[in-house]
Structure 1
């Protein structure tokens, strides 16, 4: 029998989990059931839809079996007592059934840890959304939680697209597939596998560290050469209310959504800018207004931690995760100047080198022996070392996961809205997640309720940031009100699109 096992990179999300920082992701869908046959989708029909697609991933019917003292990474084993109706639950939104009440419910569901003795996912079907003004009457939501050790955000979005139909007519060709749980692997096989893994991982970790030395050396030399040219202020990561030592178990959730074409028009206002740059500029503006209102806006720019996918050298079809930590120029009030500065920062070789540095670390953790990795993560988590490390590199996380650009359906109900939720960690209690779907893009956020007690105001800050950047990019206003707290120097290579002082954007092709 083939034994499926977590690798070190995925196991980190398991070892770092605490009672107040569960390690699961969330995916939120909202559907219009008026497009379904009979204009209604019953809970029993949704159960059948999910049951017919459980074979898509082993994660749905597999649970983790951890080794004693974490002497090896956990194994996936079939859950012989799998019960679909335990994992899929039916709820009704309490009155008044508006967006605020819905956000509170999603926050509470997201704050609850998964049962680690069962397959690591849960789904909630939520009705009663009739007082959310921008939704058709009768809309319903599906909120799914899955542990980060089982899937990353991109894999969850990809799985979601495979879980849906591409037409309003339900796919009747898919039927429930027979499934028989496989027995757990014998203990002697696990012991032999553990000895082999630890022996192999010891060598692989050594090779990874040796391979990382040249790139680390290059970065150290580059930093030494550039030390005199870069002002010290450019590498400051100011601490904010979102870099707290303690994370409570309570969460808040909120989100905004726009037409994706509008972001493309904004992008075209600055030569070389990307959609990610626009999202970073919007994030910088939103946090500018939020912290300014609290009288907590730092003099120096906040930084965002941005996960990026990179090709693995020598493996054309393999990818690995790395991170960039660009400044979001939250100290700059002018929205277009902020976008120009971000475009320059994210396009430089220094930004790419920093991302490669994070890649070196993910390569090392992937092959580190389980006991060493689990012990190290545990010590870092409980000694607040993780908080000091994360606070040193960023103030928030911003992810951007592209979704399918076509309408999707479940039992005939059209999918209207998609957003994602991420786990929080000590020292980093503000997560922004962008997801694009069918010509729209949503940005949702999660935070500790103690750090962000007013999610409605954070939503308003994002809307204000978007309105001002859109206005500036379209050459329709003179710019944002207020003064630049700390002027940034933008090299001459970063230019707005020609056509006036603001540069009217080109039409997206």
Structure 2
């Protein structure tokens, strides 16, 4: 059976530009210890398990004349060494040097002529640690047919699981004539083929018109000396370069705040993001301009038969929340965020965090990939920031015997949005990954500092024994638009 690229995945391919490479990335830190974990062991590990994600050995094949959607076909020249790369920092490599390397890697689009993924084994970190940086295109991981490769590489025990040898042989690529004949046949038999082709072509044309319009505006701005007005505090035309910032915090701190003031760990994380944004914006030369809220889209896990099923046991939906950055009180900010999600929890559609964390394998990488797809789909609804929080297992995981110490998600930027925040909790830690446009947000590292300070502020008022407000009670300026919630704990 012909495996054509689905309309939604084709949309990601046609909408991608040099300024908006659409791949999710993850930075994972490991302690090799006595395991002997090195580049060679990583290649062997991926070779042993890649059979469980066949699409990681397939490439995109365009149909001549674009008569139908492209196909997924086996890469006859598949080279694992091309996709799994070795890099090193000058010893002892610092976290700052690692993030600079990661920023440059995530700025580059993946090679469209090969399978749409890359993995980097980075040596030379201080204390003998190593890092694995992986990036996978949004069109590759849909959570339905394909999960993220990173979900399959980790084990719950230091001793790796063993699998039968993989005797994969690529199928021969179809000839151009066969591609055209197949496109005609599918158009006659399956009308959806024509619909998907029209959708993909239409998106490509719209993108081209939009790019030309931007170029004309840029030229006019240079001639008149006027620059296009920004559409908001966190918006602007993206460059081709990224900046990655990571923040590590303790899960126990969020639980202390939850214990003192109610809500969920997810609520506390979003309140921390709100407080961090508030402080960060106040340090910038620009004024907040009286803006008291930042509209955020937060992908959440729900049980909803009307949504596309995933292999993770739930569906992913978009929830919109107004982060109250104009509110000075950290406790009031927390309760406003909590109220926004309370109605979702009461719908019965939400999925508890402990259920998500119990999904086989390290599912956060797949959840983040799907969350980025959801955020991209919701652009038309007009939000300013995407925040994805995914709970992970609270026990150590291993790659070929090496313990994973940290996992930082790195989400892609979408047009007009130079900032995105992703969060993963794992083994007692809460790990933030901030992706920012290098030109529009040169002070992204300051936002990381502000996030830490916002959490400290919440801890301080929690330790002071402030009166706990009733759960679900509306506070000043709180707004809600029920959708569902799944990252509670």
Using structure 2 for the length normalisation, give the TM-score: 0.75
Instruction: State the shift of 1:34 in Å.
Output: 1.1
The 5-angstrom pairing of residues 288-307 of structure 1 reads 288-294=278-284, 295-299=286-290, 300-307=292-299
2:188 and 2:388 map into 1 onto residues whose CA distance is 37
Preserved CA contact (<8 Å) 1:239 1:395 = no
Match of 1:141 among 121, 126, 131: 131
Aligned residue in 1 for 2:255 = 264
Note if contact 1:95-1:101 (Cα within 8 Å) is conserved in structure 2: no
Distance 2:144 2:388 in 1: 10
Is 2:12 the counterpart of 1:13?
Answer: yes
User: Alpha carbons of 1:316 and 1:92: their partners in 2 closer, same or farther (altered >3 Å)?
Assistant: closer
Query: Residue 184 of structure 2 is aligned with which of 168, 191, 194?
Result: 191
Alignment of 1:32-51 (within 5 A): 32-36=31-35, 40-51=36-47
- 1:346 paired with 2:341, answer yes
1:114 Cα offset (Å)? 0.3
CA distance in 2, matches of 1:315, 1:258: 33
The 1:296–1:240 alpha-carbon spacing in structure 2 relative to 1, beyond 3 Å, is farther
Alignment partner of 1:327 out of 303, 322, 328: 322
- Structure 1 residues 68 and 335: CA distance shift in structure 2, 3 A: farther
Relative to 1, partners in 2 of residues 1:250 and 1:88: Cα closer, same or farther, differing over 3 Å? same
Is the CA contact 2:20–2:412 (under 8 Å) kept in the aligned structure 1?
A: yes
Out of 446, 452, 455, which is 1:463 matched to? 452
Q: Is the Cα–Cα contact under 8 Å of residues 144 and 309 in structure 2 kept in the other structure?
A: no
Matches within 5 A, 1:202-281: 239-244=231-236, 246-271=237-262, 273-281=263-271
Q: CA deviation at 1:165?
A: 2.4
Higher deviation after alignment, 98-107 or 86-95: 86-95
Q: CA, structure 1 residues 298+344, in 2 after alignment: closer, same or farther (shift >3 Å)?
A: farther
Cα displacement string for residues 382-423 of structure 1 (whole angstroms, at most 9, x for unaligned residues): xxxx99x94962221101122233211122111111111111
Which structure 1 segments of 5+ residues have no match?
A: 131-136, 206-237, 356-385, 479-486, 492-507
Q: Is the 8 A contact 2:67 2:184 kept in 1?
A: no
Shift of 1:490: 5.2
Specify whether residues 158 and 118 from structure 1 end up closer, same or farther in structure 2 by C-alpha distance, changes over 3 A only.
Answer: closer
2:484 maps to 1:488: no
Q: Which residue of 2 aligns with 1:402?
A: 391
Q: Distance in 1 between matches of 2:192 and 2:40?
A: 50
* Aligned CA distance change for structure 1 residues 198 and 66 (closer, same or farther; 3 Å): farther
The count of corresponding residues between Structure 1 and Structure 2 is 408
The 3 A distance-change label for structure 1 pair 241 and 418 is same
Quote the Cα distance in structure 2 between the aligned partners of 1:408 and 1:121. Answer: 23
Give the superposition deviation at 1:194.
3.8
> CA separation in 2, counterparts of 1:50 and 1:419?
20
Kept after mapping to 1: 8 A contact 2:327/2:333 = yes
Residue 97 in structure 1 maps to residue 110 in structure 2: no
Q: Once the two structures are superposed, what CA deviation does each residue of 1:327-380 show, in whole Å capped at 9, x if it has no partner?
A: 11111121111011111123347998xx9xxxxxxxxxxxxxxxxxxxxxxxxx
